[in-house]
Structure 1
Amino acid sequence: MRFLRRAALPVLALTLILGGTACGADHAAGGAQRGHATATLDGLDPVPIGPEPTPALPATVRSFDGAEVTVTDAGRIVAVDRSGTLAQTVFGLGLGPRLVGRSSSAAFPAVRQVTNVAGGNGSLNMEALLALRPSVFLTDTTTVTPQMREQLRATGVTTVYFDPTRTMDGVAPLIESVGAALGVPEAGKALARRTAAEIDTAKAAVPKQDKPLTVAMLYLRSTAITMLAGPGSGADSLIAALGARDAGTASGLQEPFTSITSEAMIAAAPDALLVMTDGLESIGGVDGLAKIPGLAQTPAGRDKRVVDIADSVLLSFGPNTGRVLAALAHALYGPTSA
């Protein structure tokens, strides 16, 4: 199941809201910070690893589709994927001034004026892409359909494909791969090292628990689209890094996103919910969660324990990942995780 997004995402501070009555965290019992907890990530722009580097080109790399691709010019970069990861990485490498096209999921402030060439579900507008005259197009094998790949080859656009899967372990290797493709391998290695270190620090700060929380990530767009995340969604990797169990995976889901039924939600039995800010607002906030089938019969539903986070950062595995993870852990478990 493809991950869905709105065509335009507001850039928000990283905010998490946990429902219930305020009190301390109960780590030994797998509890979360109770009551209303808000964590803010100051600055959603990835921090560049240094000044804008000068690409050493040509650079020949193996694309994820199996082809060897030679990049000869990185002056006009278009970076499109469903999570906004590639555009974030280009910016983190210090090559932000060369970015001329992006996907709507790359919604951090520094790229607001960069042309959007992909819709809310990651679909690519080929005409808009070609109008930008990209010197190199960075994308993945999910965003670009086989028919589009043939069209790109026919038009001669230099295209490098990357793995569409987003996991915590894949963050650093993806950053290095983007750096290599753009002729800045040393910047790629440096950014990967910094990001990996930030992730390790954030994970080490997560309090140990005798009974981990079970957390469900829900994708909501009014009552018309209600989906539960499972294996391969990216949410499973993020939840594991927070020392918790992914409810969808633990309940036996086989797909990254599955339409919610009462049976699936009750079987998942989450202690807490992870949702996007826009999605939560689209159903009327925390009180609107009562409309989700089966949710009232779960611990999270009874306690109204909800983690609400800006759409543009939830699954945007990239240079910001360590800082996002630290903010999530601090809000979920309380100050002792800092």
Structure 2
Amino acid sequence: MFSYRQKIAGLALSLLALQSVPAFAQSAEDYPNQTVRIITPFEAGGGTDIVSRELANKLQGLWNNNAVIVENKPGANGNLGTDIVAKSKPDGYSLLLTTNATIAINPQLFGDRVKYDPIKDFTPVSMLSSLPFVFLVPPASPAKTMEEFLELAKKSPGTLSCGSSGVGGGAHLALEMLKSRAGVDITHIPYKGTGSSITALLGDHIDCLFVSILSASPYIKQGQLRALAVSSLDRNSSLPDVPAVAELPGLDGFESDLWYGLLVPTGTDPKIVQKVYEGVKALIDDPGFRGRFEPTGAVLVGNKPEEFAKQVASDIKKWATVVKESGVAEQL
């Protein structure tokens, strides 16, 4: 027979034990056993949203129909949603699918206004894909090659103009990198978005434009605009006759791509990270997914967590140099 005090003590111990056990077991063996959120820090309908939903469907199928949902958390140039994941519990139930803009570029541009640390607050899982920018000119441009365009720029410093989708965006920074590496003075003309910048180029209001290959391809194929180079390290399979900027003398190593990557909060169990990575790899290897995205010019990657971590560190260093040399941060 237990005394009253013994019963109370036993009840207290039981309550303490219950408090120490999470509502759902968080071990890698049991993962996932509740809804997994893929948070993208951009609006629905964009590239990150499309890729996020493809990944959610694949993971849900692999994980015995455990719910995997996409949550769009746009705001502050992508910093809002990124910060939400940075401050989430590192249990594998909050994943971040974002671009190099919020991880490698924004912290350099906005400084203390970015409340997360891209290295300390995240563990990279995998880069899903990358997309190059294309350097375009109007059909009437006297420059038939990238080399000819840069020669024109050197002969008339500051007279040629190049548009972008906005100050501090990937296209703008690609231009600043080109100016720095090639030693040319080209006037930057920012627009409110990709569409208006393309319209300006079509109307001969500017002389050139860096734009995503997804946006550029229709105009190139219809002969409305001429592609002189792509910003990826190598040529893109969808535009095999268009050289990479990196092929030009003195511009070896030039690379300015937009990538989509998956990250989790720092402290997530490495076994869970590996399980999520295996889901990403299954999506990348899926023929249906490849058939949908590769024709658009997207380069599917699916690299390992440690490989993606090195890429993130390298990109942060690269963009820090570009931002510092260009003075773009002072324009924001």
**Same fold at TM > 0.5:** no
The TM-score, its normalising length taken from structure 2, stands at 0.32
The TM-score, its normalising length taken from structure 1, stands at 0.32
